[in-house]
């Protein structure tokens, strides 16, 4: 869920998309905590996380392809340069909010239990709020928690996707070596097909994960973004759109539910939005989407994109006490579901945005700058 920043040319449309995904996750959690029955799209927070993954896959592959002429893909210093920047982009804000979440865990757990007395079907396991064991802490600070079912969803933060993204970062240099600078057709096809074969062969293992935090489960989603990055880099979307269509089709066949259909729509829309000018026969659609691209790339889109990561990470720390306190008010309980959802959303956004402003300016931005300095210094030493 990271943005370009110091990693190369800025792609403005992705700002708004990231902001949209973060707001989508927030509103889906509000819908859960007001007892709202599943509302198509709105309550599908997992689909919003899929959008984050497409964006991340695109950005990381885009930057790798952009630097192919100047950096050796198979050089360890290139990998370390990439990993250093990614670590400093994600870790500083995450570590501080993780520490806060662990300290506040029992209190947040009490709020969550109180909410569940009103809406029992929304209850989550208390261990998520109470586990302060060294094992749980260690797996989280090392970012390996996503690969372990017992730790992947065991803090008050929605951080299962952070562990997933860090796995993707770790695998990306090797994935790019396999795919090649110009997208090796059969190797790419093998990567796509193997992920779905493994999902069938190890479905029992995958089912142990309360959230899909293990990379092989979600690698096809990241691959959508990677493939679009290749198409945009080489101005040829024929093979990428074919492979994206295959991913969408296989996902519908494997999952066969409405969210799988939404994923297919999102994947194809992502292709058209970012690289539709290189899709034969889609030029008119690409041009028709220009106002949408301009909106996403506007200053409002940039604002939303800047705060997307912090919104995603910290909103539950504010939402849980707000939801519990509101449910203590009889007048709030007597409102209809949509009224509760609207009011809770409106009350949450101002303090959430203020907290995100502080996190972004006091933690994220300094962390990014330090990451750039450390990465450049490391690369300079490696080149000597």
Residue segments in the chain with a per-residue pLDDT below the cut of 50: 1-8, 382-384
Q: What angle do CA 329, 353, 344 make, to 5 degrees?
A: 20
Residue 172: closest CA among 62, 46, 88, 93: 62
Residue 216 CA to residue 198 CA, distance in Å, equals 8
What pLDDT is recorded for position 378? Answer: 61
Q: Which token pair is 358?
A: 């502080």
- pTM of this prediction? 0.92
Q: Which domain holds residue 142?
A: 5-383
At which residue do the structure tokens 């912090």 appear?
Answer: 310
pLDDT for position 226: 96
The span from the CA of 64 to the CA of 275, in Å, is 18
Instruction: With beta carbons less than 8 A apart as the criterion, state whether 327 and 115 touch.
Output: yes
List of residues 6+ apart from 333 with CB closer than 8 A:
118, 327
The answer for residues whose C-beta is within 8 angstroms of residue 308's C-beta and 6 or more apart is: 1, 3, 18, 19, 21, 22
Confirm if 108 and 156 have CB atoms less than 8 A apart.
yes
pLDDT reported for residue 74 = 72
pLDDT score recorded for residue 77:
80
Residue 384: the pLDDT is: 46
- Looking at residue 2, its pLDDT comes to 40
Residue 297, SS3 per DSSP = coil
CA 310 to chain centre: 12
What is the total count of domains within the chain?
1
If you write DSSP's letter for every residue of 92-127 in order, what string do you get? HHHHHHHHHHHHHHHHHHHHHHHHHHH-GGG---TH
How many Å apart are CA 276 and CA 4, to the nearest integer?
Answer: 21
pLDDT attached to residue 38 = 82
Tokens linked to 6: 């110091």
pLDDT at 5: 39
Burial of 24 (0-12, 13-18, 19+ CB in 10 A): buried
Distance between CA 225 and CA 207 in Å, rounded?
A: 25
């Amino acid at each position: 869920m990271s943005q370009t920043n110091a990693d190369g040319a800025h792609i403005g449309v992705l700002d708004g998309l990231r902001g949209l995904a973060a707001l989508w996750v927030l509103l889906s959690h509000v819908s859960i905590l007001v007892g709202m029955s599943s509302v198509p799209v709105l309550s599908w927070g997992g689909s919003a996380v899929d959008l984050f993954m497409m964006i991340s896959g695109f950005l990381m592959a885009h930057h790798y392809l952009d630097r192919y002429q100047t950096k050796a893909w198979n050089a360890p210093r290139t990998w370390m340069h990439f990993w250093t920047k990614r670590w400093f982009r994600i870790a500083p804000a995450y570590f501080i909010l993780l520490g806060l979440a662990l300290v506040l865990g029992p209190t947040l757990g009490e709020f969550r239990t109180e909410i569940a007395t009103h809406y029992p079907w929304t209850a989550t396991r208390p261990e998520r709020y109470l586990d302060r064991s060294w094992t749980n802490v260690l797996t989280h600070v090392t970012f390996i928690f996503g690969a372990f079912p017992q730790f992947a969803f065991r803090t008050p933060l929605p951080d299962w996707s952070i562990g997933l993204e860090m796995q993707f970062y770790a695998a990306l240099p090797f994935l790019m070596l396999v795919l090649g600078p110009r997208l090796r057709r059969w190797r790419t096809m093998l990567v796509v097909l193997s992920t779905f074969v493994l999902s069938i062969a190890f479905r029992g293992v995958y089912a142990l994960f309360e959230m899909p935090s293990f990379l092989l489960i979600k690698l096809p989603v990241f691959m959508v973004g990677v493939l679009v990055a290749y198409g945009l880099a080489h101005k040829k979307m024929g093979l990428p759109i074919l492979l994206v269509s295959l991913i969408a089709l296989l996902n519908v066949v494997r999952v066969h539910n409405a969210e799988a259909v939404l994923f297919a729509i999102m994947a194809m829309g992502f292709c058209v939005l970012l690289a539709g000018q290189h899709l034969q026969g889609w030029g008119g659609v690409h041009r028709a989407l220009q106002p949408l691209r301009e909106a996403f790339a506007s200053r409002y889109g940039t604002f939303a994109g800047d705060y997307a990561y912090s919104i995603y990470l910290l909103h539950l720390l504010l939402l849980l006490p707000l939801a519990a306190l509101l449910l203590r008010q009889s007048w709030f309980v007597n409102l209809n579901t949509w009224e509760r959802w609207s009011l809770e959303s409106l009350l949450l956004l101002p303090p959430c945005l203020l907290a995100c402003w502080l996190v972004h300016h006091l933690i994220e931005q300094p962390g990014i700058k330090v990451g750039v300095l450390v990465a450049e210094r490391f690369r300079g030493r490696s080149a000597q």
